[in-house]
Structure 1
Amino acid sequence: MSNLEKLNKVLCDTFDIKKIEDINDEMGPDEIEGWDSLGHVELVTNLEEVFDIALNVVDISRMYTIGDIKKIVGKYGVEI
């Protein structure tokens, strides 16, 4: 499974998204139901577990869109 597929699975599982094709890199909490403060914590936990990384607080607070998530996990050596 590629890292993009892993990320898509995390997003689908965390936010109960039925079809990953329905979302894009510009989407964030305003467009994705369930991406609230609790959903954000769950997202971070799932990303850290799946990619075996430890995100710092600044990066966690800068996850505004799916595109941001891709860039941030890239900083930890995860190529998407």
Structure 2
Amino acid sequence: MSNLEKLNKVLRDVFDIKKIEDIKDDMGPDEIENWDSLGHVELITNLEEVFDIALNVVDISRMYTIGDIKKIVSKYGVEI
């Protein structure tokens, strides 16, 4: 499974997204219904577990969109 597939699975599972192909990089909490504070915490936990990384607080607070998530995890050596 590629890293993009892993990320898409995390997004599907955490935010209960039925069709991942409908998700675009510029989408964030305003467009994704289940992306609230609890969903964000679950997202971080899943990203750290799936990709075996430890995200710092600054990076966590800068995850405003799907595109941001991709850029930030790539900082930790995860190629998306």
Q: The TM-score by the shorter chain falls in which range?
A: over 0.9
Question: 1:29 & 1:65 partners in 2: Cα distance?
Answer: 7
Q: Gaps (5+ residues) in structure 1?
A: none
Aligned-residue identity in percent: 91
**How many residue pairs get matched?**
80
> Aligned partners of 1:30, 1:41: CA distance in 2, in Å?
16
Residue 14 of structure 1 and its aligned partner are, at CA, apart by 0.2
Aligned to 1:78, the other structure's residue is in SS state coil
1:40 Cα deviation after fit: 0.2
Q: Which runs of 4+ in 1 moved over 3 A?
A: none
- Deviation track 1:47-79 (CA, whole Å, cap 9, x = no partner) reads 000000000000000000000000000000000
- Compute the RMSD of aligned alpha carbons: 0.3
TM-score, normalised to structure 2, is 0.99
- Cα drift, residue 32 of structure 1: 0.2
Task: Give the Å deviation of 1:46.
Answer: 0.3
